[in-house]
Amino acid sequence: MSEFAGKDRIAARSVGRSEVGAGHALFGLALLAYPAVASDFFLTQIGGLSLIEGMIALSLMTLAGYGGMVSLAQLSVAGIAGYVVAILGHNDTGVQGYDWPWAVTVPLAILAAAATSALIGWISARTSGIYTIMITLAIATAVFYFAQQNYVIFNGHSGFAGIPAPVFFGEDWRAPVPFYYLCLFAAAASYAGVLYVRRSTFGLTVQGMRDNERRMRALGFSVILHKVFAWFLSGIVAGIAGVLLVWFHGRISPSSIDVAASLNILVMAVIGGLRHPIGPFVGALVVVLLQTFASDLVGAERFNTLIGLTFLIIVYISDDGILGLWRQFAPRFDHADRSAG
Amino acid sequence: MTLHRTSIIALAMAACLTAPWPVLADETLKIGVIATLEGPFTVLGQEGIRGVRVAVNEFGGAVAGKKIELIEQATDATPDSAVRAARTLVEQKGVKLIIGPLSGDEGLAVKDYAKTQPDVTFVNGASAAQDFTLRNPAPNVFRFSTDGAQWNAGLGTYAYQVKGYKNVAIVAEDYSFPYTQVFGFLAEFCKAGGRVASKSWVPIGNKDFSSVIAAIPDNVDAIYVALGGSDAVNFLSQYQQAGGSAPIIGGSITVDQNVLQSKGKAREVLIGTPSSGPVAELTDSPAWNTFAAAYKKQPDAFPSPSIFALSYYVDAKPLLMALQRTGADLSDGGKKLRETLSKISYESPTGKISLDKNRNAIANEFITEVAVASDGTLYKKLVKVVSQTNQTLGFPEAEFIAMGPVGRDKPTCGK
């Protein structure tokens, strides 16, 4: 990860205040106006799902991009939030399901996810690079198999079905338009949170640890504590996404959090770009679009090949996903843009 | 003005998303087909598609003057992927008729989704989960094939009375389809007076069965094995190597061509193995022969139609018949179509099929035994037809429901 460091610092300086400038306002308006032109399918199945999976990828991206810790367990963290909602709230499966109100289950779910994330962070904080990946992969696999084989708590292979989204303020929040705005609000809040934290003292300290851990330790910072807290924060983002995901599907089972799905989250973050928090959302949108429409382009039997090839091409020609591509092919525009800002 | 570069990409993408999609002519009738076209069950999903195509060809590719357009949607056998496929078909492609999915848990997930789309008519593919129709059924979900418990109708009684097995061990995979199979077997076997010595639940794709084999008591009369594909081959060969000698009772997908073609000692042990299911080589029946001949014309078809081709076929055909009868008119949200569907009764390749009040099939099941053909190969010889099996396996409905939903511990077998 350290090779990102130099470029990232330059990028951070150059982007500066333009981050919350007109580009964001215009983009935000476009997202707000999207329901006016999109069908229900594009609102939820593409828009909503991209925002949710983008948030999970964002939680991975913040750890990887700013902390140098690539975690394959973020989907498991989101899954724990989803399972908590299914177990403590209502489900139709007849296993667990305590019918607690959403106002109780949702905060508990997010807290459980954040605490799990912090625990994973604490376990893996002493490792770096490929070892972090291995540990988090092992944890993701363990969570999957535990959920798959535990029938008392997780209801095994079948998982939970019939989990409703709440109805409040007179809205059914699983109806397409309200659900889209709910996802948009959560995603925007997470995005803004990441932008804020990365330039806070804490965020800069974590980035310092990514670049030179020994020096930061010599300066008197507690590396473990900072890392664990970074995991906790990213766990909150993943947890919110996990709650939305279970409302979206209305169900959760081990197949929702299996290793292939976890790797998909990494793919989203990587092809979107790891240097800016918008990257995971771009990556999630591309992956969701491909997963939905690839079978129309090349038939139901070969669509995975198309998805794979797309990833390969993006990763091959760009050092930082789609964001990197943009920087490579529009340098002049980029320059003019910056001077105008 | 400042425009952040990434924002522009995203804006451009958003613009693409709202572009209009091509609208098809009115004269085609879109039918969505959900099948496992990726992952471990790919071959089975392809079989399902063949079954649907045979049914469509039978109608000349059109019903009531409208050309049928099949839209295939792939899943990987997980419930999530099945719901995603159904959503894409209904919400994006505007499909009002769906055939599928293939596996048990997929079926349960699609049933839940079907409740949110009352105007769409869902007909099963090959999902054999009991609660696809038995508990909390969806009014727009139909199953003209039978469930995994029905597939084992008659087998428990046959094993107890004809084969004389009083005490069996169970070895099965740990998910809903084998639960349903074990349920169907034990419901009758226990009622007849049989006992269960041990139950072993193994994960799908298990390679090493040594601990499972060690846990099987020595004094069992037989082992009921509900494993599929390579799991079955692995278990049977390892059981032989470990010196096991108890006879086998097969689940509906346990004794398939793979197992029958195996060499060595396993082969000897298999002779006489009873199993049961919705398919048998009914070479005396013209209806079966017609179907088998049409099936073999499909590209890459197997020598004989499998459970999955037959299941998708027997589910697709009544849908087409009902469409034909109602003039393929879905303008009332498919209400008339579903009324017609629920009353359909027809002669399938394996005999008469009609629906019960939960829209689940009442159909024939077949008990077979592995036998040696004149050319030395093993085949499944038909020994008994369990005529017109209903979903409660002949039990009174209240008693059957009281046994509880399928699971590792159901039924309790007298304990």
- Tell me the pLDDT tens digit for each residue of B45-73: 999 999 999 999 999 999 998 999 999 99
Chain pair A-B, CB pairs under 8 angstroms: 140
Closest in B4, B72, B84 to A18, CB measured? B4
Please state the φ and ψ torsions of residue B400, each to the nearest 5 degrees: -70, -45
Closest in A255, A291, A330 to B78, CB measured? A255
Residue A6 — very low, low, confident or very high, per pLDDT cuts 50/70/90?
Answer: very low
Give the pLDDT mean for A129-157: 91
3-state secondary structure of B284: coil
pLDDT over threshold 60, residue B80: yes
Q: pLDDT tens digit string along B313-365?
A: 999 999 999 999 999 989 999 999 999 999 999 999 999 999 999 999 999 99
Half-sphere exposure of B149 (CA within 13 A, CB side): 32
Q: Are B11 and A285 a contacting pair at CB < 8 A? A: no
Q: According to the model, what pLDDT value does residue B41 have?
A: 80
Closest in B1, B80, B113 to A255, CB measured? B80
Return the residue of A nearest to B409 by Cα.
A151
Distance between CA atoms of residues B184 and B181, nearest Å: 5
Give the pLDDT mean for A301-307: 76
Q: Are B6 and A323 a contacting pair at CB < 8 A? A: yes
Average pLDDT, whole number, for chain B? 87
Query: Given the structure tokens 């002949």, which residue do they identify?
Result: B394
Q: pLDDT tens digit string along B147-184?
A: 999 999 999 999 999 999 999 999 998 888 899 999 99
Which of the pair, B29 or B262, is modelled with greater confidence?
Answer: B29
pLDDT over threshold 80, residue B267: no
**B150-282+365-402: what fold?**
Rossmann fold (3.40.50)
Distance between CA atoms of residues B187 and B393, nearest Å: 8
Interface membership of A148 toward B (CB under 8 Å): yes
List all residues 6 or more positions away from B348 whose beta carbon is below 8 Å from its beta carbon: B144, B287, B313, B314, B317, B363
Distance between CA atoms of residues A222 and A228, nearest Å: 10
Which of B11, B17, B119, B175 to probe by mutation at the A interface, max A CB count within 10 Å? B17
Distance between CA atoms of residues B282 and B284, nearest Å: 5
CA geometry: angle at A127 spanning A126 and A133, to 5°? 140
Burial class (CB in 10 A: 0-12, 13-18, 19+), A263: middle
Q: According to the model, what pLDDT value does residue A338 have?
A: 43
Q: Which regions of chain B carry the CATH code 3.40.50.2300?
A: 21-146+284-361, 150-282+365-402
DSSP A179-205: HHHHHHHHHHHHHHHHHHHHHSHHHHH
List all residues 6 or more positions away from B325 whose beta carbon is below 8 Å from its beta carbon: B340
Q: pLDDT tens digit string along A46-81?
A: 999 999 999 999 999 999 999 999 999 999 999 999
Closest in B13, B91, B109 to A41, CB measured? B91
Residue B90 — very low, low, confident or very high, per pLDDT cuts 50/70/90?
Answer: very high
Residue A300 — very low, low, confident or very high, per pLDDT cuts 50/70/90?
Answer: low
Query: Which residues does chain A have within 8 Å of residue B112's beta carbon, measured at their own beta carbons?
Result: 92, 161-162, 250-251
Q: According to the model, what pLDDT value does residue A139 have?
A: 96
Distance between CA atoms of residues A262 and A259, nearest Å: 5
Residue B275 — very low, low, confident or very high, per pLDDT cuts 50/70/90?
Answer: very high
The alpha carbon of residue A208 is apart from the nearest alpha carbon of chain B, in Å, by 26
Q: Are B4 and A15 a contacting pair at CB < 8 A? A: yes
The alpha carbon of residue A297 is apart from the nearest alpha carbon of chain B, in Å, by 12
Residue B368 — very low, low, confident or very high, per pLDDT cuts 50/70/90?
Answer: very high
Q: pLDDT tens digit string along B168-226?
A: 999 998 888 899 999 999 999 999 999 999 999 988 778 899 999 999 998 999 999 99
Interface membership of B88 toward A (CB under 8 Å): yes
Give the pLDDT mean for A215-228: 94
Q: pLDDT tens digit string along A150-192?
A: 888 998 887 888 888 888 888 788 888 899 999 999 999 999 9
E strands, A235-323, are: 251-252
Q: For residues A90 and A163, is the Cβ–Cβ distance under 8 A?
A: yes
Q: pLDDT tens digit string along B300-317?
A: 888 888 899 999 999 999
Residue B10 — very low, low, confident or very high, per pLDDT cuts 50/70/90?
Answer: low
pLDDT over threshold 60, residue A17: no
3-state secondary structure of B223: strand
The alpha carbon of residue A219 is apart from the nearest alpha carbon of chain B, in Å, by 36
Instruction: Look at residues B45, B55, B54, B35 and name the one whose alpha carbon lies nearest to residue B295.
Output: B54
The alpha carbon of residue A288 is apart from the nearest alpha carbon of chain B, in Å, by 11
Give the pLDDT mean for A37-45: 87
Please state the φ and ψ torsions of residue B198, each to the nearest 5 degrees: -160, 155
Burial B141-160 (b: 16+ CB within 10 A, else e): bbbbbbbbbbbbbbbbbbbb
Domain limits, chain A = 2-257
Burial B274-307 (b: 16+ CB within 10 A, else e): bbbbbbbbbeebeebeebbebbeebeebeeebbb
Residue B63's DSSP bridge partners are B66
Interface membership of A308 toward B (CB under 8 Å): no
Cα B201 to Cα A79, A341, B111, B184: the distances in Å are 25, 64, 26, 16
Interface membership of B22 toward A (CB under 8 Å): no
Q: According to the model, what pLDDT value does residue B20 have?
A: 42
Half-sphere exposure of B187 (CA within 13 A, CB side): 28
pTM for this prediction: 0.81
Q: According to the model, what pLDDT value does residue B24 have?
A: 44
Average pLDDT, whole number, for chain A? 86
E strands, B145-270, are: 167-173, 195-202, 222-226, 248-250
Return the residue of B nearest to A163 by Cα.
B112
pLDDT over threshold 80, residue A137: yes
Closest in B2, B112, B175 to A157, CB measured? B175
Tokens for B323, please give them: 């469409």
Longest CA–CA span in chain B (Å) reads 87
* CATH code reported for the domain at B21-146+284-361: 3.40.50.2300
Q: According to the model, what pLDDT value does residue B301 have?
A: 87
- Cα–chain center distance at A62: 9
Q: According to the model, what pLDDT value does residue A128 have?
A: 84
Radius of gyration of chain A (CA): 20
Q: Which amino acid is at B191?
A: K
pLDDT over threshold 90, residue B122: yes
Percent of chain A at pLDDT exceeding 90:
52
